[in-house]
Amino acid sequence: MQKISVLLFLTWVCFLFYAGIALFTSGFLLTRLELTNHSTCQEPPGPGSPPWGSQEEPRACWMASRFSRVVLVLIDALRFDFAQPQRSHVPGEPLVSLPFLGKLGTLQRILETQPHHARLYRSQVDPPTTTMQRLKALTTGSLPTFIDAGSNFASHAIMEDNLIKQLTSAGKRVVFMGDDTWKDLFPGAFSQAFFFPSFNVRDLHTVDNGILEHLYPTMDGGEWDVLIAHFLGVDHCGHKHGPHHPEMAKKLSQMDQVIQGLVDRVENDTLLVVAGDHGMTMNGDHGGDSELEVSAALFLYSPTALFPSAPPEEPEVIPQVSLVPTLALLLGLPIPFGNIGEVMAELFSGGENSQPHSSALAQATALHLNAQQVSRFLHTYSAAAQDLKDKELHQLQNLFSKASADYQWLLQSPQQAEATQQTVIAELQQFLRGARTMCIESWARFSLVRMVGGAAILAAACFLCLLASQWATSPGFPFCPLLLIPVAGGLGGAVVYVGLVATIGLRLDLVLLGAVAAMCSLLTFLWKARAAWGSRKPLATLLPLPGSVRLFLLIRLAAFFSDSFVVADARATPFLLDSFILLLVAQLHWEGQLLSPKLLTVPRLGSSSSTGLPRYSGAYALRLGVGLLLCTRLAGLFHRCPEETPACHSSPWLSPLASMVDGRAKNLWYGACVVALLALLAAVRLWLHRYGNLKSPEPPMLFVRWGLPLMALGTAAYWALASGADEIPPRLRALVAGASVVLPRAVAGLAVSGLMLLLWKPVTVLVKAGTGAPRTRTVLTPFSGPPTTQADLDYVVPQIYRHMQEEFRGRLERTKSQGPLTVAAYQLGSVYSAAMVTALTLLAFPLLLLHAERISLVFLLLFLQSFLLLHLLAAGIPITTLGPFTVPWQAVSAWALMATQTFYSTGHQPVFPAIHWHAAFVGFPDGHGSSTWLPALLVGANTFASHLLFAVGCPLLLLWPFLCESQGLQKRQQPPGNEAEARIRPEEQEQPLMEMRLRDAPHHFNAALLQLGLKYLFVLGVQILACALAASILRRHLMVWKVFAPKFIFEALGFIVSSVGLLQGITLVMRVDGAVSSWFKQLVLAQQR
Amino acid sequence: MKDTDIKKLLYAHLLCIFSIILSVLIPPLFLENFSILETHLTWLCICSGVVTAVNLVLYLVVKPNTSSKRSSLSHKVTRVLKCCIYFLMSCFIFHVIFVLYGAPLIELVLETFLFAVILSTFTTVPCLCLLGPRLKAWLRVFSRNGVTSIWENSLQITTISSLVGAWLGAFPIPLDWERPWQVWPISCTLGATFGYVAGLLISPLWIYWNRKQLSYKNN
């Protein structure tokens, strides 16, 4: 089996999985249909002319305008309780003083002194609570859907009808200042605009100060009809420090001054709106739908009286989109076509001293216009897309016709009792709320066919992995036909599909194309496999999973179907991992591999057990197990709580050091982080030293000796700058800013160059030529005559040497005649692992830099944990001398479990608000401009760091048992004592062959790599399959958007990252193998000369 | 011979189960406001005491292994003392394992420790009664082909099923059913108890069914 074909096979299997994931995703995460219709003045939403027609007042459109100007102040992430008035202190209750409470005193003052002029609402936000979605909702009045959540940082122009478009077409001058997300959403819509970069969440002041510079001059200048100011400081402060930081109090006080200044300046024809686009969680993040994220503040004020009554005790709860129709009608504009919000009827009652009768009529009129508009939209939408339920639509239509008829009747006989008016208003509101509810329910629409197809491809791919992994190491594996024919089948299917599409004239769908190709190649594979397999072996061998692995996989997969368990996954995974480890130890004991057989059998019978010599003592394995449990528990301390569990407290150690207030604690933590970094470095060097590879003069090892400390130094320096950025004296600012750009990039650059060196010269051995070479550590010794006995040959003479002997016997005979020439090559036995460990370390450093400082402790634990696990697993694997080599299922599943556990212990959760956006600014403190792929890459690398590291390190599972051979042999040689040693001549006492055993059987080595890859892909693949099934079966579950969909997306992305990492890890091993081969050839040529 | 042994085993096990049932039913007669869930710790203490007592009585009455040759008083005393130390050790080891598994370190220490005590009662106490304070014998019993009598076989089964019960007891904790028994460590103690009872029931039956295949090496 060729190396390249192993890689091709794995790539093909990955492609099958990708095709399945893509097909499933396209069916599961559908977007809402966006209509491009527009409302216009000339075309009222329905029959029945309003009481004041357009002929009476030239500026009126659907309704006469009440305000000619609006100032909209959007304070990003202004949670409701930030603006909530603080009641005067009640003696019995403890006084709560939090940095964010009661800082907006202006609102409270106005609400108390001018109750008819102002009102505060708790506006209920629809998830996803990301800024762009909120801006879309706040201008179109519609419901942005889940899939848009991903495009937050690459927003596109809004195609739907919206307020800004209506304003510009009505000839109003719209001035904007603030968040530059608006530039992408509404290109060219503003008469004057001051955009400031929004992406840098660490920067609290640039946007706000920029706005303040222009806000009052613009207002006083009077060149505007609508003025929008979007402040970002509060949101960025939440992201950087969280709401409980003193900085938040400062920011809110600044906002309070802004509002005060605006209140002083607005004139009688102007409405002031202060709104938050969403809230924030306890940690200051947003994006999900927890109570704190979806409650935002909304404040309205006008110097003319707005409301007929005083505000209620507890502010009213209104949907956020209500602002859209309200503003439109107040400004005398048509309501945007796709709006599903409901007007705030109160605002149309006409001030303080209007008649109750006419005020109710005005309210009914506004509501009726709104209802007509929504009805028209529903009609148009249901004609264009079939996703609204017919039955509910019909009911709503009936409701609307009744309400409309009642309203007409009310118009015709104006002197109705107040009760009748209230009935009409209630009916209209009922219709509007019903329509909104129906839209919310049905805009999560699924394509079942695609979902089932995607799941089927995933299931078949998993089955393929299982089958092929079982089969790969058996000698009769028909490799080429099994790879080539399915690929040909897939290509054939794809060509047929393209042909079909071309003849029918449909649009080519890449997802479908991939799915068809995958499906065809899977079918051909199964057909081929059945032909080659079915006749010879029973089907029972298809289930090669050992019982314990099957049990744990089943538990893990079943957990994906329960929202409670998905939420508690961060706790459940370490639990499962611990159980798995203990079970491994117990199993080793049960099988009698830990203790000498004398202890285990009944003394009377004597030790006739045939288990052979145990390689490890029981205490050793137990120590490893306990060490693993301890590491897992310690890593679990870095736990981030999902928003769904209010009782749980996230670890305070996940926040960056910069957010710590206490300087002393900060310094201590900084010291601990640097110590962790150094310990990681020292551990890797110690390991390489122990196996001797550090002595090699090859460039990668030089890099490990000098480059790695440099990287650690750079990292530590960067942390120092980042954590103390606020305390720097001003004259050093520029220097520090420069350094915080250069340092991370330098570390990343060093890592890349190190990896390049490693790829260029991966063989890290020390070669010494000459007679005086010390023989105790040699792997390759001179050939000094034929071995005396067959036993010596088997045990003493290295396999590798026999290999060479067979190949180059003639040449060596000649060498021998010239006298004893010695070539001593050190560390060949660990050459593969050394390359792997070096690569992993080089990879870990940049990833470490992307995390918060204190996560470095988790990275140290990660390395320790995987080291212990590898040793424990190696304890259970007997060394196979000549192949076929296999990696047991236990090893692969424990490895995958550990990858998941590390994902959680590095402070991640599979929900969008938990993504570490900070990572995008490491090395780019000023943001990225317009490019989106680089920040996406950085954030992705941060999120999936553990997936990547464990996938790349996967081949270690195969290599490690061979590394441990040296320990086992040393232990075995000591107890037999002197008699054995005496028999062996000193020069023949060799080091064990270790990883060179793999090289001796290249065919088996390749097969084992293929098998390892397939097994790992299977374990990951069944997880993604379970996630997909859970998401599709529970698609009407209450928690689908909150829990199952994000979980699926994270698992899918994690799978892609893992599979790529796996391929790279295997490629690296193969590169080392190739280099070792050429190194041997060179050696032989050199000897020949 | 074998059938009478199995019968003896069955009766002994039924007595153990009966004692657990009594530990639930009797205390309400004497203690006010007693219920398993609300005064869980009291129940744990009572249950642990009762099960230990019954095990000791059974050991003295049935005497499954009559291997102790020396029976001087000092030997007996050291043996009892050693047993106590072993029991305490096992409690602490279980406690440490629970904490490593994710139990809170500082909060609910008493609860966690009592859970360790009851699990030791179900696992360590029978081991001590049957095998004495000899670690090597324990290691032998809990390995493949290490069992030498039906008593050891049933010990193996009940111990493993208690541990598995305690392990399964942790599963309902994350669920959002909001039942009073989902609180740590109630579900785990209940799981351990059910596991122990199940083991007591299963082991005589299992031995009875497999009596043809079972051939102990000392017979």
Q: Which chain A residue lies closest to B105 (C-alpha atoms)?
A: A633
Closest partner residue to A579 among B145, B167, B217, by Cβ? B167
A239 lies in the same domain as A379 = no
For A583, name the nearest residue in chain B, comparing CA atoms only.
Answer: B164
Judged by a CB distance cut-off of 8 A, whether residue B132 touches chain A is no
Evaluate whether residue A63 is within a structural domain.
no
A215: domain range? 69-87+98-351
- Judge if A366 and A320 occupy the same domain: no
Is A800 inside any structural domain?
Answer: no
Same domain for A651 and A620? yes
Contact A331, A131 (CB under 8 A): no
Kindly give the parts of chain A with pLDDT less than 50: 51-58, 148-155, 600-616, 770-800, 802-803, 805-822, 969-991
| A and B: number of Cβ contacts within 8 A | 64
Q: Are A592 and B144 in contact (CB < 8 Å)?
A: yes
Task: Give whole-number Cα distances, A5 to A2, A520, A955, A1001, A1003, in Å.
Answer: 5, 20, 17, 17, 12
A568 chain-B contacts, CB cut-off 8 A? 174
User: Do A298 and A336 fall into the same domain?
Assistant: yes
Q: What local confidence, expressed as pLDDT, does residue A737 receive?
A: 84
CA atoms of A602 and B149, how far apart (whole Å)? 12
Whole-number pLDDT of residue B117: 95
Instruction: Say which of A590, A592, A602 has its CB closest to residue B218.
Output: A602
Q: Which sign does the torsion angle of CA A583, A585, A586, A588 carry? A: positive
Residues A638, A761, single domain; the answer is yes
Question: Does B92 lie at the interface with A, CB-CB under 8 angstroms?
Answer: no
Q: Does B142 touch chain A if contact means CB atoms closer than 8 Å?
A: yes
Would you list the DSSP string of A790-814?
Answer: HHHHHHTS-HHHHHHHHHHHHHHHH
> Is the Cβ of B215 closer than 8 Å to some Cβ of chain A?
no
Question: Could you tell me which of A230, A225, A148 has the C-alpha nearest to residue A181?
Answer: A230
Cβ–Cβ contacts within 10 Å for residue A390, how many?
Answer: 9
Q: Is A599 on the interface with B (CB under 8 A)?
A: yes
* Cα–Cα dist B206/B194, whole Å: 17
Which of A327, A351, A375 marks a domain boundary? Answer: A351
Give the span between the Cα atoms of A248 and A104, in whole angstroms.
Answer: 12
Q: Which of B139, B167, B176 sits opposite A564 (nearest CB)?
A: B176
End-to-end CA distance of chain A: 33
Q: Most A CBs within 10 Å: which of B94, B95, B97, B100, as the mutation test of the A interface?
A: B100
Spatial distance between the Cα atoms of A499 and A506, rounded to a whole number of angstroms: 11
In this complex, is the C-beta atom of A604 within 8 Å of any C-beta atom belonging to chain B? yes
Angle of CA points A483, A488, A492, to nearest 5°: 155
**Pair (A121, A239) in one structural domain:** yes
Contact A590 B143 (CB under 8 A): yes
Question: Measured between CB atoms, does B101 come within 8 Å of chain A?
Answer: yes
Could you tell me which residues come within 8 angstroms of residue A907 by beta carbon, excluding any fewer than 6 positions away?
Answer: A638, A639, A640, A651, A654, A851, A852, A855, A858, A914, A916
CA distance B145 to chain A (A): 7
To 5 degrees, how large is the angle CA A68–CA A69–CA A75?
A: 150
CB contact under 8 A, B100 and A633: yes
Place of tokens 């102007």: A270
Classify the complex by whether its ipTM is higher than 0.90, answering yes or no. Answer: yes
Nearest to A578 among B100, B145, B174 (CB): B100
The confidence score (pLDDT) of residue A794 equals 44
Q: Within an 8 Å CB–CB cutoff, is residue B172 touching chain A?
A: no
**How far is the first Cα of chain B from the last one, in angstroms, to the nearest whole number?**
11
Chain A residues touching residue B148 (CB < 8 angstroms): 602
Domain boundary among A392, A415, A443: A443
CATH code for position A135: 3.40.720.10
Q: Residue A49: inside a domain, yes or no? A: no
| Residues comprising chain B, all counted | 219
Does the beta-carbon distance from B174 to A571 stay under 8 Å?
yes
A996 shares its domain with A1070 = yes
Q: Give, as one character, the DSSP assignment of residue A705.
A: I
Judge: A572–B174 Cβ closer than 8 Å, yes or no: yes
Which tokens belong to A748?
Answer: 């990343």
A334 plus A426 within the same structural domain: no
Q: What residues does A194 pair with on adjacent strands?
A: A177
- Window A:559-578, CB contacts with B under 8 Å: 562-565, 567-568, 571-572, 574-575, 578
Positions in chain B short of pLDDT 70: 1, 64-71, 215-219
Q: Using the beta-carbon criterion (under 8 Å), do B175 and A565 form an inter-chain contact?
A: yes
Based on the fold, state whether residues A1023 and A998 are members of the same structural domain. Answer: yes
For residue B103, the chain A residues in CB contact (below 8 A) are: none
**Chain A within 8 Å of B136 (Cβ-Cβ)?**
yes
C-alpha triplet A717, A723, A728: angle, nearest 5°: 85
Cα–Cα separations (whole angstroms), residue A322 to A335, A421, A453, A613, B50? 11, 21, 40, 78, 67
pLDDT the model gives residue A447: 75
Say yes or no: B105 contacts chain A, CB-CB below 8 A: no
- Whether B100 and A629 lie within 8 Å, measured CB to CB: yes
User: Do A936 and A1061 share a domain, yes or no?
Assistant: yes
Residues of chain A found within 8 Å of residue B139, distances taken between Cβ atoms: 589, 595, 599-600, 618
Check CB contact of A68 with chain B, cutoff 8 Å: no
A427 and A302, same domain (yes or no): no
A1058 in a structural domain: yes
Instruction: At A707, give phi and psi (nearest 5°).
Output: -70, -40
Q: How far is CA A100 from CA A77, A280, A675, in A?
A: 12, 12, 36
Q: What long-range pairs does B131-137 form, CB within 8 A, spacing at least 24?
A: B131/B65, B131/B155, B132/B68, B132/B79, B132/B83, B133/B79, B133/B82, B133/B83, B133/B85, B133/B86, B136/A599
Asked whether residue A863 is assigned to any structural domain, the reply reads yes
- Please, what's the b/e burial string for B61-89 (b: 16 or more CB within 10 A of its CB; e: otherwise)? eeebbeeeeeeeeeeeeebeeebeebbee
Cα B189 → chain centroid: 12
Q: Which of A445, A447, A436 is nearest to A143 (CA)?
A: A436
Q: Tell me whether residue A245 is in a domain.
A: yes
Q: Where a domain ends, among A351, A378, A412?
A: A351
Residue of B nearest to A637 (CA): B102
How close does chain A come to B141, measured CA to CA in Å?
A: 8
CB pair distance less than 8 Å for B174 and A605: no
Beta bridge partners of A860: none
Look at phi and psi of residue A160 and say left if phi exceeds 0, alpha if psi is from -120 to 50, else beta.
beta
CB B187 within 8 Å of CB B170: yes
Contact of A456 with chain B, judged by CB distance below 8 Å, is answered with: no
* Other Cβ atoms within 10 Å of A511 Cβ, number: 17
Who among B101, B176, B217 is closest to A602 (CB)? B217
A639 and A718, same structural domain? yes
Q: Is A1038 a domain residue?
A: yes
CA dihedral A639, A641, A646, A648 (to 10 degrees): -10
- Name the B residues in 174-203 with CB < 8 Å from any A CB: 174-176
Read off φ and ψ for residue A100, nearest 5 degrees. Answer: -100, 0
Domain count, chain A: 4
Assess if residue A55 is contained within a domain.
Answer: no
> For chain B, what are the domain ranges?
3-64+71-209
Query: By the 8 A CB rule, do A255 and A244 touch?
Result: no
Strands A767-769 and A823-825: antiparallel
Closest CA to A856 of A721, A654, A1015, A561: A654
